[in-house]
Amino acid sequence: DEFCDPGDAEHQTMRVYLRVRPFSKEELSDNEDQECIVVENSQTVTLNAPKGSATMKSSERGIGTSIHKFTFSQIFGPEMSQAELYENTVKSQTSDFLDGKNTLIFSYGVTNAGKTYTIQGTQKEPGILSRVLDGTFHYIQGHQYQDMDMKPFLRNDAQRLDSKQVKQERSAKAALFAAVKEVIACFLETLFLFISVLVDSSAESESSQFALWVAYYEIYNECVYDLLQPSLCIRNKKRVSLRVCDDGAGNAYVKGLQWINIQSLSEASKLLHLGNRNRSAAATKMNQSSSRSHSIFTMKLLKIDNDVVESVSEFSLCDLAGSERCNKTKTINERLKEAGNINNSLLILGKCLTALRNNQAERTKSSYIPFRESKLTKLFQTIFCGKGRASMIVNINQCASTYDETLHVMKFSAVAKQVIPERPLESPCLVGGDGKPLRNGASHNQTLNLSDEELLEEEDEADESLLPQNELLSMIENLRTKLLAERKRNLVQEMEIRKEMGDAMLQQLMESEELRTRQIEELKERYQDKLENTFEMYKDAIKEHAYQSAMNNLEDDYVPLDEFLAEQEKVEVSSIIEL
């Protein structure tokens, strides 16, 4: 986690806009219109707690108040069109994006408040995403970089691709667009036909060219998924979760995210359709198609001048999943788990904004900011810490039944309105197809491999007033000596650790062998006892059998005593007669 210190940067507070959704016919028939939301002017809105709400009950008990006032950068009522919203909110940030600056726009609010409509719109009323794309293509028309050998790399850098990698990019793009039927794509392209030219200026330098790359992904149950994957359209296909990594300079990026180079609005419409089809959504009591994830559509614009990447700017539009109370949306099982993750990530976002605001108010010390507790805040940490411009479009409905949730959203936005300094961006680093740095403007596959001496010479040429050459050489020699000593110490430590681990492993093996020997001896004794018991059992059985056999034979040969005596007497008489 990071400690952001905006004290040395020029402050520019985060612009927060409010958009009020009109009532639907069903809401009017359900008596949802109780004048809970009153727009006072273009910047002030008043919330009046309706009867039965938790806020009104607390107010009646003397806890808090039933009336709240909030101010915004600008408020757009139910009658405001998509075009007016864009002109007064996003158009200036589109210009910043085209000028090489990073931009982030959040669409925030409770479920069923119109966030997705604000971002994407409909066929007749395109949202701000379609208008940003239209303005970007009008700006770079005639100056598009046709080759596909310059691609975004990590978070703020660019990569030069070799011919094999370019071929792979083209094949991946073709396979991706094949997943969208041409009829559907042509239908979606009509979304952009209602949009006028939104950015009047055009690319000012004839030598400058622009390459536009886009990615579309979602954060669902705190896992990041790429929405631009044709395989997702196959049923029962398990999605692969992507990792959020650090580029070594404190900038988070999504590892393995697919970036697509687009050349027209038609290609943009195909990507939008494919991504929206893959996005996680489900029906709840408050919304028949409730977004169950935070979706992020990111554009990266590479400005290329004479084979040199002058700048890499990023424009991200984040459609946040709606915050909700599970008892009102009737979420159970999987929906309940989703709601918990949604509410938790929004809670961490609020904590980060609060900590940023407190750090600005107390410049003498910086408090802990929990960016890394959520994938959402970790990804946009650099924007929050000043490397770009962020704004938020808060969407609310006027329904009395969701007043308490709406009040929470308004309090959240009040904190957001007081944060975000702005700092200049660093120049992008150009890397080759192998990921190693290239000299800006260098030929393909020419890697930047400098020795210590070459690096010293370049620094010395840049500023000869730093140190004399002999002192620099002495410093290098000292550093080398320390490096060798450190390596030797590490080798000795590694040998000791290996020996310790080997001894521990040997001891463990000996103990295991001893344990197995004891177990075998115990097993032998048990089997010996069992064998002796079995032998005694068989011996008793044989004795019993012998006794029974003898008794049976005795019964067969038994003669009564009277018969025996009578027979003996007969024999004796016969013997006497014979004599």
DSSP character string of 119-176: HHB-SSSB-HHHHHHHHHHHHHTT-B---S-EEEETTTEEEE--HHHHHHHHHHHHHH
Which residues 6+ apart lie within 8 Å of 79 measured at CB?
Answer: 22
Distance CA 95, CA 101 (A): 9
Closest by CA to 309, choosing from 132, 153, 103, is: 153
Looking up tokens 């039933």 gives 66
Within 362-399, residue ranges assigned H as helices are 375-379, 381-384
Q: Using an 8 Å Cβ cutoff, are 319 and 334 in contact?
A: no
Structure token pair of residue 477: 């020699």
Structure token pair of residue 394: 């808060």
Residue 405 burial (10 A CB sphere; 0-12, 13-18, 19+): buried
β-sheet bridge partners, residue 109: 395
Q: Using an 8 Å Cβ cutoff, are 82 and 107 in contact?
A: no
Torsion (CA) 497, 500, 502, 505 in degrees, nearest 10:
-120
Vertex 284 angle, CA 185 and 244, to 5°: 65
Torsion (CA) 180, 184, 185, 188 in degrees, nearest 10:
-130
Q: Does 173 show up as a binding residue in the annotation?
A: no
Distance CA 164, CA 100 (A): 29
Structure token pair of residue 578: 């014979």
- DSSP class of 310: E
Q: Does 321 show up as a binding residue in the annotation?
A: no
SS3 string of 217-259? EEEECCEEEECCCHHHHCCCCCCCCEEEEECCCCCEEEECCCC
Q: Does 55 show up as a binding residue in the annotation?
A: no
The one-letter amino acid at 514? E
Q: Does 485 show up as a binding residue in the annotation?
A: no
Vertex 119 angle, CA 287 and 251, to 5°: 110
The one-letter amino acid at 364? T
Looking up tokens 């028939």 gives 29
Q: Integer distance in angstroms from the first to the last C-alpha of the chain?
A: 135
β-sheet bridge partners, residue 392: 16, 106
Structure token pair of residue 384: 């929050």
Q: Does 115 show up as a binding residue in the annotation?
A: yes
Looking up tokens 């919203």 gives 85
Q: Does 109 show up as a binding residue in the annotation?
A: yes
Enumerate the known binding-site residues.
Answer: 109-116
Binding site listing for ATP: 109-116
